[in-house]
Amino acid sequence: MPTDGFSFEVIATKGKARAGILHTPRGDIPTPVFMPVGTLGTVKAMTARELATPPLDARIILGNTYHLYLRPGLEVIEAHGGLHNFSSWQRPILTDSGGFQVFSLAAINQIDDDGVTFRSHIDGSKHRLTPEVAMHIQGVLGSDIAMAFDQCPPGQAPADVQDLAMARTTAWAARCLAVERPAGQALFGIVQGGGDVDRRRRHLEQLATMDFDGFAIGGLSVGESIDTMYAVLDAFAADLPAHKPRYLMGVGKPADLSHGVAAGVDLFDCVMPTRNARNGSLFTHDGKITISNAKHKADTRPIDDECDCETCQTVSRAYLRHLYIAKEILYNRLATIHNLTVYAAHMRRLRESILRS
């Protein structure tokens, strides 16, 4: 049975691409959509009000189970009544289960069939993460969409490692579904299988028998080639249940989003726009610019004359370069506003193209 208050409708298609509406108790989300990443309960350098204000107008953001569990800790978030109140963000939130950290922090983790034992990357303290613990944390966070706990192997992992990750992810998915969730919290399953499409389809067959509200493609953009990722998307994304939202985890560049939408994906997330902004790499309608380059030192133009973000409407490339070189904090905010607005506008254009077809 679908989670109360949560549903998905496709309102237009163009080939495999879909335009839809994801209905949640905290508001409707037009799809396809890019979700800004707020790992620690904050999209870095942004206030909740800035995120929700047009032209950015983010409809959903991410939080992370692993990181928020370690800092500030569940007691602090529970005292606020959940992550929405803690972060002053009242629109929908999706929380990663912590499975990706099993991959990205593999050097300090030990995985077994029951779960993961890990050392905190903050203070070295020892912790245990299982499907039940991951669901409990997400219940305390009160996210609108929780992710099932999974094992994400490296992109070039051998077949036996991929098969073991799939088997554990399937077993853990069933255990996640057995945990009682807060009212209105949807749960997505995650399909693994690396770059082998047949393996992906076998794993989906197992997960599709379970009562998930949506399905995610995990284990891409984790070391495999772009060609491999695109081949998996082209051959497999549209195999995910047509009546439920499809989520591609951790991807990517604007071109990757376009490719994913064309393959039939509805939701995306990635740290790229915020991380690149802080590192001086800014997106425009015709490619990236590196703001530290000397050619921008006296450039009076905005980052992108087709962008209607606050940054492009108020300051020049030269001013942004000055802030970046001087390591002024304001640079991070202005650059992040711009990159996220570019991503939001890109997704709106893709959606409008589908609706016009």
Domain residue ranges of the chain, discontinuous segments joined by +: 16-270, 272-357
- Rounded to an integer, what distance in angstroms lies between the CA atom of residue 243 and that of residue 7? 9
CA-derived radius of gyration, the chain: 20
Catalytic site includes residue 96: yes
Residuewise pLDDT in 10s, the chain (357 residues): 779 999 999 999 999 999 999 999 999 999 999 999 999 999 999 999 999 999 999 999 999 999 999 999 999 999 999 999 999 999 999 999 987 776 566 677 889 999 999 888 889 899 999 999 999 999 999 999 999 999 998 888 999 999 999 999 999 999 999 999 999 999 999 999 999 999 999 999 999 999 999 999 999 999 899 999 999 999 999 999 999 999 999 999 999 999 999 999 999 999 999 999 999 999 999 899 999 999 999 999 999 999 999 999 999 999 999 999 999 999 999 999 999 999 999 999 999 999 998
Catalytic site includes residue 123: no
- Mapping DSSP to helix (H, G, I), strand (E, B) and coil, where does residue 219 land? coil
189 membership: H or E segment, kind and range: strand 186-191
**Annotated catalytic residue within 96, 150, 163, 213:** 96
- Rounded to an integer, what distance in angstroms lies between the CA atom of residue 220 and that of residue 316? 37
**Annotated catalytic residue within 213, 239, 269, 304:** 269
- Rounded to an integer, what distance in angstroms lies between the CA atom of residue 113 and that of residue 34? 33
In this structure, CATH architecture of domain 16-270: Alpha-Beta Barrel (3.20)
> Which residues have C-beta within 8 Å of that of residue 55, sequence separation ≥ 6?
308, 309, 341, 344, 345
- Contact call for residues 292 and 317 (beta carbons, < 8 A): no
Rounded-to-5 percentages of helix, strand, coil across the chain: 40, 20, 40
> Which residues have C-beta within 8 Å of that of residue 158, sequence separation ≥ 6?
none
Q: Which two tokens stand for residue 294?
A: 């000397």
